[in-house]
Amino acid sequence: MLAPTSTSGETTMPHAALRTILPSVGLSAHDADAVGFTNGIDPILPTPFRVGVAGASTLAAAGLAAADLWHQRTGRRQSVAVDVRQATASLRSGHYLKVGDGQVSAGRNAIMGFYPTKDGRWSYVHANFPNHRAAALAVLGCEESPGAVTKAVAQWNAADLEEAIIAAKGAGGMVRTMAEWAKHPQAAAVAALPLLEVVKIGDSDPEPLPAGNRPLSGIRVLDLTRVLAGPTAARSLAEHGAEVMKISAPHLPNLGYQELDTGHGKLSAYLDLRDQSNLDTLRGLVRQSDIFSQGYRPGTLGARGLSPEELAAIRPGLIYVSLSAFGHTGPWASRRGFDTVIQTVSGMTYRQGEVCPGSAPGPQFYPLAAIDYCTGYLMATGAMVALKRRAEQGGSWLVRTSLAQIGKWIVDLGEVPPGSPRNLPAEFAPEEIDRWSMVSETPAGQLKHLGPVVSLSETPPHWARPTVPLGYHPPVWPAMTGSVVRASTGVIVAP
């Protein structure tokens, strides 16, 4: 078993960060002291932000929540440990995918990025998804090329372009400093929220955990989230034994590599929620489920009769996990956003550009997706805490957070010593990635990918299913999983 790190100097940082997480979900901050953190302190990659601490502590929180459920099942405690460098690599796990002998492209669209504006500022155009790219190009009135976008953005003031693209149902934002963001009304709304909320929203009888030999055995999860944070949450629940069904639809845009990254352990079915019969099918699945996880903007699913209260009425005891970009209060509560958008408007890209300049002047993204993955790990933590409360107290529960809340928490962890990240390698050693990776047999062929990070002494996390294409399964809960894990090889085999 991995041993805890020293309790002196900066090596205490993961424990300190974990102590800020646990009380937000009703766990004891003292539980942090029992977690073993090994192998590295920040800075690990070239960024001023403590991304190693953030990744390791959020993963540890999920590990503690899983261990807590195991104790509830068996009366036995188990130890939790996290490799800090491995946790950091997990914050860009989509970067390390390989199908067969070929790398999986995770490149951004050519026009996605920062552009100087007429008023001497910078504007971020989010263009990875075709619908958001089309919205930005329609506002700018130009063709799809970096040169054309540069000329078009230069005709706008940054704040005006930010609002125009949002009004056109696109995504992006004006680059702000941290001081500017601190004065924004949405920043004030986010600052007033806890890191994560676990709120009782309905009454029902206590439900003991189903029989099983893993922390989440017998627990069914409907995953209606997209992109990274929400799918990572469901993937994390799957690695502790939950049966997860990803729900998508053919008309929804997606980036294929992200599905390969976050699909481990999941069934995948299509349901078009614009169709009433498909909505009825989804409600039928909800009645047989324990956790419903969604990442639509606040109020969006309520318009389809899928609000927390409505689903708790048809399935008393439901755990409803809700993710948004900017939180459920404030003037930007209904605004769409992504990890990169939160970085941009909150001052993180401005600061990254100051401390770790790129080849060209201006704002920079940090070299991973820390907000997305840390948010996913914390969503999974909240869901497991709510399951324990349901078992002990009964009730339906709402677990709620946002990318902006997690982004603020990462910033609040503080920065690494000045100058320390500038000359760090931007990549991990190949032997490290190989050590942390595994191979799954998928319908697309052999997929090499990072394995679970958290170490649990009695119930080692693993996925019982390989990732599959979207819509691969019918929208029906199986009686039992058909996949197995070959313990001798660590290879997941498709049914």
- And the tokens for 381? 């933590």
Question: What string of DSSP letters covers 396-409?
Answer: EEEEEEEHHHHHHH
The beta-carbon contacts of 26-29 under 8 Å, at least 24 apart in sequence, are 26/198, 26/385, 26/389, 27/61, 27/64, 27/65, 27/68, 27/385
Strands 319-324 and 396-402: parallel
Place of tokens 């189903």: 210
Q: How many CA atoms lie within 13 A of 288 on its CB side?
A: 12
Q: Which of 42, 68, 223, 372 is catalytic?
A: 372
Contacts with 192 (C-beta within 8 Å, 6 or more apart), sequence order: 329
Place of tokens 């409907």: 222
- 3 state DSSP class of 172: strand
Spell 368-402 as b/e; 16+ CB within 10 A means b. Answer: bbbbbbbbbbbbbbbbbbbbbbbbeebbbbbbbbb
- And the tokens for 40? 């590295």
CB 270 within 8 A of CB 470: yes
* Paired strand residues for 441: 446, 493
Active-site residue 68, yes or no? no
How far is the C-alpha of 123 from the C-alpha of 139, rounded, in Å? 13
What is the number of other CB atoms lying within 10 angstroms of the CB of residue 38?
Answer: 18
CB 263 within 8 A of CB 289: no
- And the tokens for 363? 């704002």
The single-letter DSSP state of residue 320 is: E
How far is the C-alpha of 183 from the C-alpha of 181, rounded, in Å? 5
H or E element: which one contains 115?
A: strand 113-116
The single-letter DSSP state of residue 451 is: -
- And the tokens for 448? 């090499």
Alpha-carbon distances, residue 16 vs 8, 56, 384 (angstroms): 12, 11, 22
Whole-angstrom Cα Rg for the chain: 22
Place of tokens 């050590």: 435
Strand boundaries in 396-472, DSSP class E = 396-402, 437-442, 445-450, 455-456
The side-by-side arrangement of strands in the sheet containing 36-38 is 36-38, 80-83, 455-456
CB 272 within 8 A of CB 251: yes
Using CA of residue 355, residue 356, residue 358, residue 364, what is the dihedral sign?
Answer: negative
Which residues are designated catalytic? 372
